[in-house]
Amino acid sequence: MAVVDLSGKVVVITGGARGLGAAAAQAVVDGGGRVLITDVLEAEGAETAAKLGDAARFLRHDVTSEADWQAALEYAVAEFGRLDGLVNNAGISTGQFLEHESVEHFRRVVEINLVGVFIGIKTAIPLLRANGGGSVVNISSAAGLTGLALTAGYGASKWGVRGLSKIGAVELAEAGIRVNSVHPGMTLTPMTAPVGIQAGEGNYPGAPLGRVGVPEEIAAAVVFLLSDAAGYVTGAELAVDGGWTAGLTVKYLTGQ
């Protein structure tokens, strides 16, 4: 996979212990950047950072906590001297039919997936502004581009991330801070593995490309948006979903 130039950049990635976050952290380091991985999964996060070497650090971080956010971003600056990018990747994906969804569960999903993103952006603004700008990449979902059954809290939170990203893009452009959202489709990660998806051609006929994604493909979109190559890109919503949100497949329509 092509390497995007992130030389000299320092990026914080939440939910970076495994899956999409770990792949994004690897891509940042491959591009010459340095990364602080944060997560509540301490053992896995520490292991991921160790594999990446001196260019990576790990810190336990609850994204719903303002104090944890402040500590995480201050730690990144203390370790690496600056902050250039933030990837709001931490999230949970569980749900059921709307009429059976509990208020307690709905609130928990929104608190992690949306409120956590809000706190992160808010906390990062002064540090990015001090650097003359930077890039915020918010991981939404294909479920944030269309209605998807069984995702009342998750889908609502990901639509919220999409909207919050556009608001941030408009408000922060004068500070040189770009804000974009990435919308992965079905991707093979530890979070999605329990539903039985499989990688490889033909294993996901609902998407025009006919397969599920892999974390590295999502990471490639993330590091592009973090890089100077995306210097004129802000307020965008980048679907990385094999065409799933583009429309129905020919196979679906014809039965062939």
For the segment 108-129, what is each residue's pLDDT rounded down to a tens digit? 999 999 999 999 999 999 999 9
Among 72-76, 128-132, 181-185, 204-208, the range scoring the smallest mean pLDDT is 204-208
Q: Please tell me which residue, 191 or 17, carries the higher pLDDT value.
A: 17
pLDDT tens string 196-253: 566 666 557 678 888 888 999 999 999 999 999 999 999 999 999 999 999 866 666 6
Contact criterion met (CB below 8 Å) for 161 and 112: no
In a domain, residue 142? The reply is: yes
Q: Which of 154, 204, 232, 252 is catalytic?
A: 154
In a domain, residue 94? The reply is: yes
In a domain, residue 206? The reply is: yes
In a domain, residue 3? The reply is: no
- What mean pLDDT is reported for the chain? 92
pLDDT value of position 191: 66
Q: Please tell me which residue, 151 or 189, carries the higher pLDDT value.
A: 151
- Expressed as residue numbers, the domain containing 181 is 10-254
**H or E element that contains 11:** strand 10-14
> What does the longest C-alpha to C-alpha distance in the chain come to?
58
Q: How many domains does the chain have?
A: 1
Cα distance between residue 15 and residue 49, in whole Å: 12
The answer to whether 154 is a known catalytic residue is yes
Long-range Cβ pairs for the range 64-68 (8 Å, 24+): 64/111, 64/112, 64/115, 64/116, 64/119, 65/119, 66/119, 66/123
In a domain, residue 32? The reply is: yes
In a domain, residue 235? The reply is: yes
In a domain, residue 2? The reply is: no
Q: Give the CATH number, domain containing residue 92.
A: 3.40.50.720
Q: Please tell me which residue, 86 or 188, carries the higher pLDDT value.
A: 86
In a domain, residue 175? The reply is: yes
- The three-class DSSP label of residue 64 is coil
